[in-house]
Amino acid sequence: MPTSYHIVVCGSIVPDPLQTLEPVTTPTGPALKNELLLPAVLDPWAGHALFEAAHLAKQHPGSKVWLVSIGPKAKLQQVMMTVAQKVPFELIAIDGPAGGFTESAEIAAALAEAIQGLPGLDKSRLLVFGGWESATRGAGTTLQMVGERLGIVDQFQGVDQLTVRPDGSFQVLERIEGGRHQVSSCGALPALCGWATGNLPEPPNNPQVGMLNMRTVMPALQRAKPTKISNEGVTFPSVSLPKQRRETKIVKDMPPDDIAREIVEWIGKE
């Protein structure tokens, strides 16, 4: 196993979750109301992957981190002004839609093509990181299809921790059902990790890191390749916000067992 890595992080941008999101129907399909005016952020799941990638690269000198992101150039520039101050990376920008109404297979194809075109990429040192899920494309399939298109068969989803062993192999902690973790080992690259929340906090802003990153971020945005996501064969009969319902019941001196029983019965009716 190599002592340094080529780490490619796949991460999209999403509307700021603090904004009010209202789905609407347009001539080209469903979209968000005033979508172009909504402030954007890096997908939280992808953010964890990026921070874990930078942490791993820092531990292994000679490693390099790329961030491959699809989105409108203006939105990418807005988000990168903040993200660039967090950790060192080289941006590979793809000019395309970033909404939640895009087909994950087409997004995966665009990401895989961009990764394959990275100059100097060594697949024997390659780790592909990304979000296990997404704040918009929550199907949980995009990253897996990226790996398939790249010929990566060693894939780990729901990763919370990756530990490199002295012999160069690494151990992966994956989430499984029942609130438990599965421990896996991998002794060869390339490999793909779909990150859950990981163990690292969000790094503080570092203006020096930001200035170094912006030297490559702005040129990357200028030469961003336009990509058309046609969504052929995909239809949305309707789009709407989740229904909100509140039922309040005030009872004094009710035993905890009875409260739990009522909650279970209420859930069972849904």
The per-residue pLDDT for 270 is 59
Structural domain count, the chain: 1
Mean pLDDT by 10 residues, the chain (270 residues): 86 80 75 78 91 94 93 89 93 84 83 92 93 73 90 92 88 87 89 89 90 91 83 69 72 88 82
Q: Report the C-alpha gap between 160 and 150 in whole angstroms.
A: 23
CB-based contacts of 110, cutoff 8 Å, min separation 6: 70, 94, 96, 227, 229
The pLDDT tens digits of the residues spanning 164-191 come to: 988 888 999 998 887 888 999 988 889 9
What CATH number has the domain bearing residue 83? 3.40.50.620
The per-residue pLDDT for 137 is 58
Q: Report the C-alpha gap between 263 and 52 in whole angstroms.
A: 39
Residue 92 lies in a domain: yes
The per-residue pLDDT for 1 is 57
Q: Report the C-alpha gap between 67 and 202 in whole angstroms.
A: 16
Question: In the numeric block, which tokens belong to residue 190?
Answer: 């390339």
CA 172 and chain centroid, separation: 18
Residue 118 lies in a domain: yes
Residue 214 lies in a domain: yes
Quote the domain boundaries for residue 15: 6-226
In this prediction the pTM is 0.83
Distances in whole angstroms, Cα of residue 192 to Cα of each of 10, 67, 155, 235: 11, 14, 5, 30
The per-residue pLDDT for 2 is 63
The per-residue pLDDT for 72 is 87
Angle subtended at Cα 166 by Cα 164 and Cα 168, rounded to the nearest 5 degrees: 60
